[in-house]
Structure 1
């Protein structure tokens, strides 16, 4: 049958009608707020390329946590900005490192708030890369060593979990990173800690503002030898399959906005919670356009976040989490 018997507008005739047939919705429980914690005192510094996002020292972290908790957001993703770096990123797995200290602070104030620890070395290495660099004396080429890096990433994950992290979120894109971290956690008596794997992480231009925020820009070269080519979709299934086999509990796609097809691919192929990371460049573009009055920020953000849910995301990591939570309360 077709028009005039079929009339699709019948189900759009009022707000109530649209509400009862709505296929996807956004809840505050879907949202995770990233936080940048740094060494020092009395620091709350806005990140220039990310308006409304701040570096917090531990003594100023409480005010951010109070706001997040009051909005009903149940989880945060912690990034640490250390005061010292070296070639092996040793402050990442220091039991008194900035992420570990911040985790203990969060759990002391809000025991039920989920702390997700980003597990990578790039913020902590002097090279800005996600692993240990090997220099080939014959060719002069410098590249990240996979297996040596796995050992340090595992130490980092165990240290973060012992500090109280509820979820380990490895973002390094080394081959075998989920298996190495799962084994390390289990051997440390931490088999109950889930892994939120950055399963499908592209070598994306959308990360620019984050590298300012985390002080993690590579000091040479790029990350294309370990992060994925943005042109590839089928490769995402191979990456995700490896993580599933190795023991991941969540599968993440990063970035989200330009990769909704990949989010949908994972949702169709894996019966795991799917996480979309709405990254810094996506955030900053909207903020910049909104500051010019070119777009309605609230409308754009909420449409985008629902779009991630429609594509198949169960969880959304976003710098808009607090804003979205506030807007949802107003409904």
Structure 2
């Protein structure tokens, strides 16, 4: 009986030890994806105290000249964080850098980051990373369009690698919700984060080439995507004629394409999502409730803004390089 009791005790003790080991490695894996613990609000308070004001004024100047710069910067930050983490690697210009990938076609706004970097270098040489400039500029892009603001923890360092080969796992408008959830989960982001960050499409425009197949050849039989509202499909057809309209730009948020608000989700609920991936988040059981909530059907629509700020802070911590990792680039488009 004693031997049996000892065996049971040993088995239970071993199980508890194994559970602690699993929890430990789960935490290690989580912090390797979301490294916000090493970032700090006000990181440049002593070394370059005007950092956030300089980035903000740069954004304001470019935004006043071109409203499209706000969604461009927001998209740039997203594409940066999803490849090698938020390390400014998307900013590199070379023959094989991330910027050259088909998945990054149409990225713009690089001149804003370069401009802010030049201004910061003149007063604080070698102090502020390009990755932090991009994270701050993305926050400012949202607030300038009427969206929320949030504290951006800084201290990111710039990556030393940028390869187009690393961009294959970027989310695309053609992905199913299941695939999108997998790509987000790989970066430590939830199904709610997926819906929330998709809400960034409340500002900006998409090229017709990303939409035309839904209007004219959805399944290869000359048909229309059945998830599109019929009246909206007719409107899109006028904006994106069958031939010669591939580069035409159409608003992703009908009614308020330059204002950060929750009408994007209301449009999706009505079947007026422009990109297929936007519309499909209404069909998946794990994402549908968030769409309806942000659209204002289940509770106050302003819940989207607070959730978006939280999701951006979370995304901004993906695989960050801090401390002795990476470096501080002198020029954002060129590796040191």
TM-score bucket of the superposed structures, by smaller chain: under 0.3
TM-score by length of 2: 0.24
Please say which structure displays the higher CA radius of gyration. Answer: 2
> Which has the higher relative contact order, 1 or 2, with Cα contacts under 8 A spaced 6 or more apart?
2
TM-score by length of 1: 0.24
The structure with more strand, counted as a fraction of residues? 1
The structure with more helix, counted as a fraction of residues? 2
